[in-house]
């Protein structure tokens, strides 16, 4: 059964002073209701005591009491409003904010829209369309948010037809003008045709969705397998190196022990020899004293008898008795050195380790506006450059590239190693590398190794390197970021795919005759993304 409050309009419960639902409503002698606080505040600000609605004056301010009936109805009305606000209507997606065009007070949500009237109706105001014969023939749809989308912009009539030729909504008058002789059908017919294709489309979507779920599962399994394989590889590698370290430590201890033992034996031998030699020295010194004494004696018989024994000592000549290190230890040290060198060489060939060691020589670069072709625009931070396609107003500079859209970095190098990375993603034509400072900035001469340029690039979908003749490079994936490593002293320039951490190409045994500068070019392409000097991650 409907409550009293649901049968009354919203205005019944509104205070005419604050225009809000009654709070502690009171009734004046003339029969009108107001909030207690509102009517007293109103009278406090007036010269006379009268009703705000009918203007009836009262000889003295009435003693007003809260009208319990109106108060309870107002409270019930508040509750209904709150419940209605918190309870969503069962409407189609996107129609909750479409309201009835007829409601003048509290706007109700629309339940239908009439394409004939071009009006949206709530449940109450839709009733005539369901009752009146002349309105029953109108076309009713679920609530429409914007009728303008359903109006012909040319003839201002509803678009009740569909042009299959132009794939556009049209009105009946369009058949006589722009869409004359086109394949035009009623919207209902096109709708039915679309619905007929729906099942096929849904089947295709489900098939494609299932295919992608299977692909996701496959990739996830491959990631798990890769993780397991990586764990095994890591465990095996750690075990191998642990065994090697233990073996080396054991061999080191044994070698040190053998060296100390051999040194101890040699030391003992030397000490024994020293003792023997000291004894011999003492005896020889004693004979020297005796010979000196004999030289003072006048007893010819005694001297001649003793002299022979003093002249021929019984000591044999001593060979070279120095303590030397055993050459076999030198051989052991040489073998360990060779092992270390070989392990380093093997590790150097691992892409991750090679890139990590190269990235240790990372340098901070910025594009040099003094060398940039006039069509190039450099970002304020100097890290990005793009080809504007039109010449900019730039000052004349002998360092500027005039013919092609080239630019150098500000930083140059004459020795040592350096490494940088550049993002080439989104570009269909580009060159990246290093050039000598003396490279030509004007003219039509192509840059290559013979005139001081070492770079790789992309042109017409083909990757190549700038040797004396262009060498085509075969890559598994498109390059996104390119790493460039230069060892000036060794004459080496190596290019790396940052994503896969793999080597792309290397120039070796080059002879650098001048200062080297990082080099970038768009090859006159204006349709690509900017080239970006990116920071080098030290966790490669």
- Helix, strand and coil in the chain, % to nearest 5: 40, 20, 40
pLDDT at 347: 66
Residue with tokens 């859209």: 405
Contacts of 39 (CB under 8 A, 6+ apart): 17, 26, 28, 52, 64
CA distance 403 to 336: 57
pLDDT at 2: 44
pLDDT at 5: 43
pLDDT at 3: 45
Residue with tokens 């606080």: 37
Most confident range (mean pLDDT) of 56-60, 295-299, 352-356, 464-468 is: 56-60
Taking 90 as the threshold, does the pLDDT of residue 172 lie above it? no
CA distance 87 to 80: 10
Mean pLDDT throughout 227-240? 86
Mean pLDDT throughout 355-374? 92
pLDDT tens per residue across span 178-224: 898 899 999 889 888 888 888 788 888 889 889 988 999 999 999 99
What are the tokens at 318? 């001593």
pLDDT-derived band of residue 304, with 50, 70 and 90 as boundaries?
confident
Q: List the one residue out of 480, 461, 371, 370 whose CA is nearest residue 421.
A: 480
Q: Pick the more confident residue, 492 or 345.
A: 492
pLDDT tens per residue across span 51-106: 988 888 998 898 888 888 888 888 877 766 665 544 444 444 455 678 898 887 78
pTM: 0.46
Mean pLDDT throughout 381-397? 90
Mean pLDDT throughout 444-465? 88
Taking 70 as the threshold, does the pLDDT of residue 484 lie above it? yes
| Mean per-residue pLDDT over the chain, rounded | 83
Using the Cα atoms of residue 155, residue 157, residue 162 and residue 168 in order, give the sign of their dihedral: positive
CA distance 366 to 408: 9
Taking 90 as the threshold, does the pLDDT of residue 341 lie above it? no
């Amino acid at each position: 059964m409907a409550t009293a409050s649901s049968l009354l309009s919203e205005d019944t419960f509104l205070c005419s002073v604050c225009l809000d639902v009654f709070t502690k409503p009171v009734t004046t002698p003339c029969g009108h209701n107001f909030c207690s606080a509102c009517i007293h505040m109103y009278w406090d600000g007036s010269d006379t005591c009268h009703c705000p609605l009918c203007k009836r004056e009262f000889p003295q301010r009435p003693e007003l009491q809260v009208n319990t009936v109106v108060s309870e109805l107002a409270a019930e009305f508040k509750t209904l409003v709150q419940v209605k606000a918190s309870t969503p209507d069962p409407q189609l997606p996107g129609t909750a904010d479409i309201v009835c065009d007829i409601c003048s007070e509290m706007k109700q949500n629309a339940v239908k829209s009439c394409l004939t009237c071009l009006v949206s109706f709530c449940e109450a105001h839709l009733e005539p369309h369901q009752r009146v014969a002349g309105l029953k023939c109108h076309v009713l749809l679920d609530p429409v948010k914007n009728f303008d989308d359903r109006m012909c912009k040319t003839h201002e009539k509803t678009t009740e037809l569909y042009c299959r030729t132009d794939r556009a909504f049209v009105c009946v008058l369009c058949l006589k003008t722009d869409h004359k002789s086109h394949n035009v059908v009623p919207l209902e017919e096109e709708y039915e045709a679309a619905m007929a294709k729906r099942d096929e489309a849904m089947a295709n979507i489900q098939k494609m969705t299932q295919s992608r779920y299977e692909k996701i599962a496959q990739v996830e399994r491959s990631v798990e397998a890769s993780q397991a394989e990586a764990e095994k590889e890591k465990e095996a590698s750690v075990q191998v190196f642990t065994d090697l370290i233990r073996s080396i430590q054991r061999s080191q201890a044994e070698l040190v022990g053998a060296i100390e033992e051999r040194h101890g034996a040699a030391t003992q031998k030397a000490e024994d020899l020293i003792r023997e030699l000291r004894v011999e020295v003492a005896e020889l010194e004693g004979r020297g004293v005796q010979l000196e004494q004999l030289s003072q004696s006048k007893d010819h018989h005694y001297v001649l008898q003793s002299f022979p024994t003093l002249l021929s000592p019984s000591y044999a000549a001593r060979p070279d008795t120095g303590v030397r290190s055993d050459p076999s230890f030198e051989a052991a040290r040489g073998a360990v050195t060779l092992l270390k060198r070989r392990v380093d060489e093997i590790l150097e060939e691992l892409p991750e380790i090679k890139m990590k060691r190269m990235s240790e020589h990372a340098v901070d670069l910025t594009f040099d506006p003094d060398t940039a072709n006039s069509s190039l625009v450099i970002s304020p931070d100097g890290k990005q450059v793009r080809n504007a396609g039109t010449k900019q107003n730039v000052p004349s500079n002998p360092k500027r590239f005039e013919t092609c859209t080239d630019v150098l970095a500000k930083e140059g190098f004459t020795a040592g190693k350096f490494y940088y990375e550049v993002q080439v993603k989104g570009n269909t034509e580009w060159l990246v590398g290093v050039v000598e400072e003396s490279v030509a900035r004007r003219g039509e001469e192509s840059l290559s190794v013979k005139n001081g340029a070492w770079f790789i690039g992309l042109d017409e979908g083909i990757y190549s390197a700038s040797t004396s003749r262009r060498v085509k490079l075969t890559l598994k994936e498109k390059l996104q970021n390119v790493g460039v490593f230069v060892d000036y002293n060794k004459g080496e320039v190596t290019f790396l795919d940052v994503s896969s951490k793999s080597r792309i190409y290397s120039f070796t045994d080059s002879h650098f005759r001048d200062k080297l500068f990082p080099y970038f070019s768009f090859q006159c392409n204006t349709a690509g993304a900017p080239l970006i000097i990116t920071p080098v991650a030290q966790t490669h």
